[in-house]
Structure 1
Amino acid sequence: MNLTIDIGNTCVKLVAFNDTTPVEEMRMDCDELFKLNDFCEKYHFEHGIYSSVINLSDEFKSAIGNLSFPVMRLISGVTPIPVINKYSTPATLGTDRLAAAVGAFCSVERRDILIIDVGTCITYDFINSDGEYLGGNISPGPTVRLKSLHTFTDALPLVERKGMMSDIGETTEMAIRNGVMHGVEYEIEGYINDFSSKYPNLLVYLTGGVQLNLRISEKKCIFVDKLIVPKGLNYILLYNINELIHK
């Protein structure tokens, strides 16, 4: 059994794997370390891997270091991976983006793949059929856009992402939510259509915690996989397992 720990901007995602099969997922906050210990007591983990896009507290680092099995850290540009990273500044590449690309590529036969992760940020990452990660783009996520409208204006209220929506806002709250959420959807549709025109055999992976209403042709090959980052972490762990065993 393997444990993957994906530490993001909003929460920590723990996933137990039996070889390449995800068994259970659990989410926790960074200050809920008891949940990490409880999850580890539930399974007989032999190895683990973690990645983080935030600076970890000493307490969190200690909790990982004190686990009863070896846990490696994914470091962009340093950790060996089963794809070719052609990012010009590999050390600055978010480990979540890198893991997502690995997870998508290792989950299917060789295809050109666009991975779209909708969270605090919206990331667009591309890996070609030769297993070459070429890079991607980063855009503000829905919550960041909503907060920005409130923060950088005097009159606009802070609006929740979930709520009433329509084609045309009949209230200021609806106008903001419509503008942000439809804007996100149109942006994503544009990326998918643009990449599909350049790569006719394109696969698209959608991940993240935001549900979207995309108006995309059924001919497009789109997969929704909320575990694509943990899957990538697990593939990277398996790729490095011999080195980890002999440490």
Structure 2
Amino acid sequence: MSFSLCIDQGNSRTKIGVFEQDNLIESQTFDYFSFEDIGALFHKYRDLSTIFSTVVKPDEKVIAYLKEKSLSFIELTHETKVPINNQYKTPETLGKDRLAGVVGASFLKPHTDILVVDIGSAITFDFIDSTGVYRGGNISPGIGIRLRGLHEFTQKLPLVEAKQTNELLGSDTQSAILSGVMYGIVFEIDGYIDELRKEHPLLSTFLTGGSTFYFVNKLKNAIFANENLILTGLNRILLYNAQK
């Protein structure tokens, strides 16, 4: 029996998932990532086909290790065949996590207009229509960037730690910064959903990324929270290429 090893290396963490066909059977998250972290998986599952996606400069030692150990290996690039129609004008600059996210969402809710919101170091908004055409999206600063920006580009504003808040309006400078950043993101996400629904009334929205939990219960619009959406998309890309 063969399995799929999907690796999503982001700016601040790396997520790994092992799939049996479309079933995620094991996942791990690392703040720092090296090939030693996945050696046990190759011993445990033996027959692993691997897809590797990174938004940072890849470690050539990791690539060499994966190529050596895997039954088959794909490093996701703009030239990799995918099961959607990518209409991004500069596909070579499109984040691989963004591409995998819309592939995963399109697989989970086929024939649906979908907005994928990935809340990580940056916040990305990506739209794929009901015919499987990826139309593009936007990139916005994430929580940490907004909090650090207010501190670093002003003389007096403090650096505030990200955390949950239910205060719409702050009662002091610390809470004003926290509420301004967190609810600013809430209104930003809801605003995109509202605007897209004017043209696509049956729009579905997926939330994913490491900071999703801050916002799941604060949005006025219904959403699907899926922390493994990008891994799901990577698995679908790997299986799609295996059929070629």
The residue type paired with residue 204 of structure 1 is T
| 2:34–2:62 CA contact under 8 A, matched in 1 | no
Q: Which range is displaced more, 30-39 or 86-95? A: 30-39
1:74 is aligned, of 76, 81, 88, to 76
Q: Secondary structure at the match of 2:69?
A: coil
C-alpha displacement at 1:163, in angstroms?
5.3
What does 1:52-91 correspond to in 2, within 5 Å?
52-76=54-78, 78-91=79-92
1:240 match: secondary structure:
helix
Task: For residue 133 of structure 1, report the CA deviation from its aligned partner.
Answer: 0.4
TM-score (norm 1): 0.91
1:190 equivalent in alignment to 2:191:
yes
**Letter of the structure 2 residue corresponding to residue 181 of structure 1:** M
Q: Which digits, 9 at most, give the CA deviation of each residue in 1:172-217, with x for residues without a partner? A: 2111111100101110011111111210111111111212143314
8 A contact 1:195–1:202 mirrored in 2: yes
| Corresponding residue for residue 225 of structure 1 | 226
Equivalent in the alignment of 2:167: 166
Counterpart AA for 2:143:
P
- 2:206 matched to 1:205? yes
Structure 2 alignment gaps of length 5 or more: none
Unmatched runs of 5 consecutive residues or more in structure 1: none
Counterpart residue type for residue 35 of structure 1: D
Aligned residues: 239
Tell me which amino acid in the other structure corresponds to 1:237: L
Equivalent residue runs for 1:44-193 within 5 Å? 44-76=46-78, 78-162=79-163, 165-193=166-194
What percent identity do the matched residue pairs reach?
39
Pick from 205, 215, 218: which aligns with 2:219?
A: 215
Note closer, same or farther for the CA distance 1:203–1:51 as it changes in structure 2 (3 Å cut).
same
CA separation of 1:144/1:191 partners in 2, compared to 1, >3 Å: closer, same or farther? same
Within the alignment, does 1:13 sit opposite 2:19 as a pair? no
Change (3 A) 1:157 1:123: same
Matched, 1:33 2:35: yes
Corresponding residue SS for 1:194: helix
| Structure 1 residue 68: Cα displacement | 4.1
Query: TM-score, structure 2 length as denominator?
Result: 0.92
Counterparts of 1:113 and 1:164 in 2: how far apart (Å)? 28
User: Is the contact between residue 116 and residue 127 of structure 2 (CA under 8 Å) also seen in structure 1?
Assistant: yes
- Secondary structure at the counterpart of residue 157 of structure 1: coil
In structure 2, relative to structure 1, the CA distance for the partners of 1:215 and 1:70 (3 Å cut) is: closer
Shift of 1:66: 3.1
Change (3 A) 1:11 1:215: closer
Deviation at 1:60, TM superposition (A): 2.5
CA positional deviation for 1:100: 0.5
The CA deviation string for residues 97-124 of structure 1, in whole angstroms up to 9 with x for no partner, is: 0010111111123011110100011100
Instruction: Determine helix, strand or coil for the equivalent of 1:66.
Output: helix
Distance 1:61 1:48 in 2: 10
The two structures, once aligned, show a CA RMSD in angstroms of: 1.6
